[in-house]
Amino acid sequence: MLLIKKIVPMLCMSLFLTACSKFEPIKSDIPSSTTEKTISSEYLSKTKTEYCALCNQAGNTLLPLYAGQNNLGIICINTFDISPISINRYDDYRNLIEEPAKSTSMNHNSFGEGRMVTSISPNTDRGYANVHVSFTDDRRINSKNVESLLCQNFLNTILSQTWDTPYGIGIINFETLEVKLFEESVSGFSFGDYYIHIDQRENNDDSESTELNLLVFYCPERYK
């Protein structure tokens, strides 16, 4: 009887370990080369680096006003419309303001019929922001527009980070000039010192617009 009591637990443990050994992390079915091949075949930019809206901050955009700040912004890569998410505050000399604001604000930007509309409410003292984004014309990337705005290197870099068909709207890191496009199947991601949670709203009417609610957290590494 004593022998049976010892054998049964050992047998159960053996079965448990055997079952666990069969579980592996789910890996993507998309080969790493597939994305790069798709990008090179669909988007071929002739824009030189010196004329790139990201590399050289060329053209008539708002990017030079915010470049270098440890902040994010909503960006349309089809038009380079930008709405800043100013969680970290800066003075006119680009110095970080390290004192409480003791107030909140809301910034509303509309860039024209069918184009991006944003409402941004940052809480700078707590380090987060509520963001609402809606758009119609920019549900897809406009190849002609992006090829005239971005050089091939930056275009490849942006699109190589997408899993599915991305929107023409995304988020830009003003400190690093990295851009991450929103996708229907992606509900959140880390981006530099930030984490972005995305809630896509379902339209109950016949509207063709896409609406996203974002919760943006400033959460730099605690220990380095």
pLDDT tens sequence across 30-72: 344 444 445 445 789 999 999 999 999 998 999 999 999 999 9
149: helix, coil or strand?
A: helix
pLDDT tens sequence across 179-201: 999 999 999 999 999 999 999 98
- Check whether 13 has a pLDDT greater than 80: no
Q: Kindly report the pTM of this predicted structure.
A: 0.80
Q: Nearest CA to 124 among 162, 154, 98?
A: 98
**What is the distance of C-alpha 70 from the center of its chain?**
15
> Distance between terminal CA atoms of the chain?
56
Q: Would you list the domain boundaries of the chain?
A: 34-218
The residue ranges of DSSP E strands in the chain, in sequence order, are: 72-76, 81-85, 107-110, 117-123, 128-135, 169-173, 179-181, 188-191, 194-201, 210-218
As beta bridge partners, residue 169 has 76
Residue-level pLDDT at 35: 44
